[in-house]
Structure 1
């Protein structure tokens, strides 16, 4: 079993991680994507978690398909959609293997999860995305920055019931996020490959996609407990890469 299969199932069980209301930041992100696209479009979200972005995008008028592997999160997505009176098509599926019958999307979004596997895994996924996009379509891809996560090692925010540790695999350029239950249960770890924009451009070679735009993301000051939603690229924990077909 790949670590991601158990990690995201166990992380989803932590109250307040994915099964939450829609944060104002998520509404703002959906509005930004809508403005960038010039209005509502056919949109595919990969790894949609608790459905917060899928529902926010549907509220913007998009025709949304969302793929999520964890059954409890798919259920939460449906509940959230009903509460807001929208109907995104949320499917329980692995986006590395799913066969989409109607695959020409105007936009594909992947927030907070890219880098799960090897470079070859990432390229395989990006080639799939290139095949799912309409001719003028684009991808919005959240990417972890190596500089933030190298600095964050040993300084993770804590949550009730767990000891949380950030680490950084310098050789593999991967952020490590480990949860150890206070009841001495088995720890579980997330490991995501981090890419500078220069690294991402190299990764994209041969995938059919090209980097056209960067949106620097935010930064979290653990000691101050303050989240700043947008920072200069050199201080951001992530950036959104806007990709187009070559």
Structure 2
């Protein structure tokens, strides 16, 4: 093919050079450069941002909300087998003051022997004038207004007297609380100490479980909240 000469020949040569430099389709750069540009934007589609299809980390939920941002009740318990935090853990209506007044009338002195965030413990004691009888009581309370459990013990060193033990333990069993039945409680204590047939060692009266154990020489009375007797 003959190469044009003169002015028109120069123009044609210049146009050919320009076309060769521009490449095909208007894309700039060589094959390697075009491949790098495509890899920088995965899942990109015409009209969509390059981040389409990329999973971004979720912001942490605000306190008191679920991951979806729904308000929740903090501290609420869910699921089977979770103890209801509102369940009473004490003998309803029985406070430390009432128990201590009963014990003081019997001549016992009381002092606090333990205290923690879980509650407090009090011990009360007395000895008869002739030294033949010891009285002791341990009180477990959630606070001054709520008694959870108490144990009373009467120990007689001489000839045991059922009437003396019955008077002290009967007064405690008859202490006022919700559902208490004082006359029934005293009769139960007296009947058990006397060995009457058919008198059980454990009874439930109102919101408390009562239990007698031991012998006339050393007899104990337990009074506990109904939901505390198995612990």
TM range (shorter): under 0.3
* TM value normalised by structure 2: 0.22
Task: Please give the TM-score of this superposition, normalised by the length of structure 1.
Answer: 0.21
